[in-house]
Every structure is written in structure tokens, then in C-alpha cells.
Structure 1
Amino acid sequence: MLQSWKEVLPGDHYRVETNGLLHSFDQRVITLLYQPLIGIEAASLYFTLWQEVEFLEEHLTHHHLMGSMNLSLDRILKARKKLEAVGLLESLKKKEAAPGQFVYRLEPPLTPNRFFKDGFLNLFLYRQIGAREYKRLAELFAVHRVNTADYEDVSASFDEVFKSVPASETIDERNNVKTEGSWAHRATSPKIGLKTHFDFKQMMTYLSDAIVEEDALTEDVRQAIDKLAFVYRTEPYDMSKAVQAAALHTGEVDIDALRKEVRDFYLLEHGADEMPALYERRQPESQREFTEKEPQTEEEQLIAWYERNSPYQLLEALGQGSKPAAPDLRLIENLMFDTKINPGVINVLIDYISQVNDHKLNKAFVEKVAAQWARANVTTVRQAMNYAREEQKKRKQTKKSPATRAPASARTSARKEHQEVIPEWMKRPKKTEKQTKENEEAVKQRAKWLEDYLNQI
């Protein structure tokens, strides 16, 4: 749950406008293609704002929006951010206005053709609904045209139907018609924005000028590379190979061919039919503290473990080696997609919440903490651990009486008995009984250290 009062208040005003025309067909696209990604509340917010486009002369308040949707401001803000993340909404806030004044600009969704060729949103839709449902939707939006090879064009031309305008009537009266703004049009669907961008400069050092010139990297190509690198976690060297392969014959980068090259490389590395999962990613090299040097202290060892392991592996560790539950994986996937928090920071966040919340990953609580860390721009593991330590300090300070501290103490004792934070045995498939006991002891020692780290003030 977000702390909405930091960004918007119920009394703040807003107006709604659209970036071009919205059609009734857009409702179908948003319901079937976008709603599985953003959820029903975000889709409902889009449709609600759509109905308020005509209220240009009125100053609507967010209190009105809360009443019309029967939702809290926190949930409305969360839904708004999801719309912004997928490119369906642009939110503008007037500087130093009291009360706050917002303009919510609705963007048209991608057409089905562009959505299924996007290489970004369609991939997340595939992972959300599965291969069977994805295939059904793709077929639902497919256009089957009649083969017109044996047909001839018998359409009438303009001058066959209409007479020319007399010269005396060709005086352009349009300049006398004064209008503000521009005429309604169909806007181009916006591109999805990423907070972290691909290192094009490094990639250019690997490209051969004989195959690909810098001019071939148009804005559309760069956008495609940015998204493909994010989805498939492609390094500049590997991306340069894919770009050269996609431009080998023409000198121009074919985006469809580029997408196929990157996907094929990923499948080659990870196995057939395996699509990339956000929860399997690890801390980016640029945000790691221990890439070349080895950790010396226990704290540094813990930092290195968070950096070198994925959230999936952390859930395995917390579950004592069992396969993570699907709801937990979806929760982490949504966190990484919505907040763009680094995997190492996600590890600290999940481990911290497991410590303080009696091993329970409550969705609302996890999302609340994740949003708070995202706003604080926590990017490294050490920052996350320090932030968690400060949060633990604040939690203790808010406890006012011994009666409220006693249950927490009891839960702490329970956690010391059961917590399995960093199991060494998960790195090897088979263990002897002696090795298992030694690893269990190591796990308990490291778990105890993490508990002491969080509780130390």
C-alpha cells in the first residue's frame, strides 16, 4: 500500500484530456490485452477517466474520484502508476500550486498488431496468462483477409464522382475560421519508458562499420534494443552480434529480425521454450559491491550472497529448498516490473519482511515497503540493508508499552528457531548427512547474524 498523501491529496484538483481520439475498440484492447498486466482497478481507472474527458470546465477533486470508484486514494494512486508504467497515462502536476492541480492525459493503447509485435508487453502478457490463453488471444485479434488475386479494382476515382470547384470559389476562407488548439486526431501510441537504459556507447565499440553504420540505429531501433536488453538481459557484446545479424544483407536493422536473433540467443543459453523471468535475475554488475574483491566480514558475505543470487533462490532458501509458491513468484515479478527495484534489493526486502512479519509475505505489506524503497531510490544491497535497519529502528520506537513489545519478543524467539536465510546446501545437489548438519549449523549462524544486524540500534 502506498503512502498516497506524499504525492496527492483528496482535495487536489484534476482534469482529464486525451492524446488524440479514443475509439470503442480501444476498450476491447485494454480489457483483453492490458488488464491481465495492470489489473482490474487500473483498467477501471482508465475507463473512469475516459468518461470525464468532457468535464473540461470543472475542477474535479480526487475525493470525487475516490467516491465514484469506491476506492481509497492509495489504491487509486497504485492503479495510476500502473497505467503510467504501460504507457496508457501521462500525469502532469502544476508546480507550487495549492491545492495541487493535475492533468491526466489518456494515451491510446497499442493496436493489436503493434502489441503482439512489441517484444515487451506481449512477453509479460505471455508469462501472465500462459501459452494457451496467449495463443487464443492472438487468434482472436488476427485479421483473416480474402485472397484477392483473382479480383480487379473497380473502385471509382474522385473526379469520376465530383466536379471541380469553380475558380471564383477557390478563395481560401479557412483562414477566417479561428480555432484554438488543433483538430482531433488519432495519436500515436506512446513508447514504454525504462528507468535504466542500455549502454549503446559500449555496444558501438563492437559493431563493424562495414555491416552497420551508426545512422542505421534509428530511434525505433534504439527503443527496440532498449526493451529487448531489459527483457532478455542482453549484454552490449551479445546485442552487437544480434544487430549485425539483423542488418547483414541490407545495412538497415530489421527490428523483427533483431527480436528473433535476441530471442534465439536467449533460448540457446537457457533451453528451448524457456522464457525470461524477472525473479530469476541477479543484481546488475554495475550495482554490485563484490564483483572482483572477495567479502571479508560476515556482513560483506551476506551482501555478496544477496548480490549473487536471484529472488527465486532466496525464496528457495526461505522455504528450506522447496519450490517457491506461484503467488510469491508473481508478487516478486510484479514488484520488479512495477517498481524497477534491483534483484539484490528485492532479496533484502523479502528477507527483511520475512524476519519482521513472522515468515509471511503479505502482499499489501510487501508492496508498501517496496514502494517506499523505490521512492528512496535504494539501488544497492548495502543501501537496502541500511534502510532496513533504520526501518527496524523506527518500528521499535513506535512500540509504546511493554505489553506491545512482549509478543514481538516471542515472535523473535520463534524466528530464531525456524529461520533459514542463506542455506549453503542449495548450491550442491547431493549432501552427506555430515555435510547437511554442518550446513544447517552455518545457516543458523548466518540467520542469527542477520537477526542481530536488524535488531542492532
Structure 2
Amino acid sequence: MRKFEYKVFLKNRIDILDDKVLTYLYQPIIGLKSLAIYKLLINEAEVIKQLQKQEFYNEDRLIKLSMLSSDQLSWAIKKLEAMGLVVTLQSKINEAKIFNIYPPLEPKQFFEYSLFNSALLEKIGKKNYEIAQLMFKEDNCANESDYKNTSSKFLEVFEEFNKNLKEEVYSKIQTRPKKTNVLLEGLDFESIFKNLQNKNICVSKENEKLKNVIEEVYLSYNLTEETIIDALIKAYDEQEVDLDIEKFYIIISSKYLVHEDTASLDFDPELNKKTKTNAKIKEMETIDPIHFLELLMNVDCLDLVFLELIRSLRREYKLRDGVINCLLEYSYLKNESKIVKNYILKIAKTFNERDISNAKEAMDYLKLANKKSKVSKKDLGKYIKENNVLDNRDEEYNEDSGYTMEFDENIKPDPNLWGNY
């Protein structure tokens, strides 16, 4: 394979706080090698600027400076791209590349992205995650409401510049902007809402929840603005005069996240119960469990106890997101609108024992488990043996910090899909 040539450009200023964010929030996810390459590229940008070189450098330079192989270097850069720290531009006519370097997100932005948030928790664990949150917690004056702002304005202090207020000042110096969120480059909310308005779709520009959903899918997948607009149009419910967020996720997933075990399912939510079940399966396989719970509870950020539960189901029980979502909704329906940790973990253990690996298998199994509760005590043992379902007659599930969830209108559990209660 031919080696590439490259140039590096620093698109924003990077300060001391950025270095702290990189060390404690990014490094656990991307690893020390990728972080070292990131800092090397920053220095390369300064070298190119100082030497005022117009030609490109060869890949061999990065390999020798980093002591990595070509494959290791490529993988390290891909991690940087995935986190929005590097944007790679490939020449259309040769092997030349341009690396545009961007600073990390502000801590608040980082913790608002469910993907980054869950990845960090997965990598460093609950205790270190709590420390990371405390490290970047904003300091606020507790009694600030008892004070008023008496700070002076510029022209109140420097009156001599009053006469120059309307004069135009031209500067040939172009400074770097302080921050650019490269992860959302190309995403224009004004354009999206304008296109929706042209299609007579009534959506408020102030709908922050919808903006967060759009940002999440744009951050997660290689989507064009046109694809997002098309999916939003298809997901609009004219009767409810609102967007169906579940359907939006399903439409996106049908193009980008169709798993091999659900690819053959026919989806049309208007046909019959079977088709509704297929839609439910696709929903479960598509939505990230953290965002799923946020929608169910109508909160912007989950409490740590829920993040830890999802982390445990992923890491210790090795369950896929679709299976986790089934467990969360089933617990809600079976336990008086509560997410009961021990109850969920008990079933998760059984899923491991029976090698249940996708949402369809989980849903079928939980339907049988629900039917079991309606069988007479006399026939219960026989039923369990014949149907091979979970027996939790003698288990008592206690959860000190159970959370009663209020469902958002866009996420509604359908008990009929699990069997009557």
C-alpha cells in the first residue's frame, strides 16, 4: 500500500483546560497512543507554520516520530476522527491528506453526549466516573441571587472612544476561533426547520429535545442533512401534530443499523399485531439504552445508578442494547412502573445461561415468562418444564433506590406486545 503524504492545520486554539479534558475524559476512551498522536499532530501544525513549507510531509515521518507501525498509526487517527479531534481530508487525485486538528469538547458538552458518557463510564468504572464529574463541576456562588451586577461597560469607562463607535475598522489578521464543535459541522438546524416548514410540518425551533435527538444521530452515523430531513418528514404524525421519535429512530436504523438477526423482518406498523411486534423489535435494537431511559423518564441526564446498571448489563452480562431495552421496559410493566435492579439482573443471568442474544429472542422469552404467572399453582411446574421459562416464584426483589418513571409521549410501553398483565 502506498504511503500517504500530509499537511496539518490547527483549526482552533487549545489551552490548559483542554489538556485536562483530554487526559481525564478522552484518554480513557481513545488510549494513550491516540492521545500521543494527537499531540504530535498539534506540534506538526506548528512546525509547518514556522517553516512556512508548502510541500507535504511523508507518512514515514509520523511513523518514525511515533514509533508505531503504519496500521497502528492509521487506527490511532481513526479513533481521533471518531471523537471529533481530527478531520481528515483525502485528495481526489493522489495520496495526499490534510489533517485538520480541533480541540476537545467543553466538559459540559462531553457529558451531554450519551455515547461519550457511557463509553467513559464503561472504561473507568463508577468511582472514577464520579471523580471525573466532580473535577469538571462548575463552581457557582451559592448566594449569587442576593447580589446584582454592577460591572461597568466599555464606553462608560473609555469615553474617549465614543466618537469612533461608528467607524469601520479593517484588520488583515485572522485569528483562530476558540472552539469549533467539529462533530456537528454540516448540521444546520435553521435549514432543517425551514425544510420541515415548507412541507407543512409544525415543529418548534425551540424544541431542544428534538435538537438533541438530531444531534445524537448525526454524531453517531455518517448522515447527510437530507437524510435526516427525509426521516423527520416520514416520522411526522399528522393526527397527533407531532413527530414520532420512535419512528424516526426506526427509519434511521433501517438504513444504517439493521442487524443481521432483524434484517429479514418486514416492518409496517399499520398492518397487524405481528408487524407491530417487528416494529417494537427494531425500536429496541436501534435506540441506545441510555437515551431510551432518558426518553422514558423525560430527563436530560440519567442518575448514576441507572448508568451503572446499563454498564453492568453491557460489561458483566455481555448483553446487546436491544436485549437491555427489553429488560428495562419489562421491569417497568411488571414492577408497578419501577426499574428494579435486582429483578433485571436475575433475568439477565438467565439470558446468559440460555444464550439469548437479541431483542426478538428476549421478547419471546419474556412473553412466556409473563404467561407463566397466569398458570395455576398446580400446573406451574409442568408449564415451566415444558416451556423452559424463568421461575422466580421464590425470589424476592428489593431495590432501595427504585425509580418511578414518567413516560414521555414519544415512548410508550405496549403491554399487549408482552402479553396481558
Tell me the TM-score normalised to structure 1 length.
Answer: 0.45
Tell me the TM-score normalised to structure 2 length.
Answer: 0.48
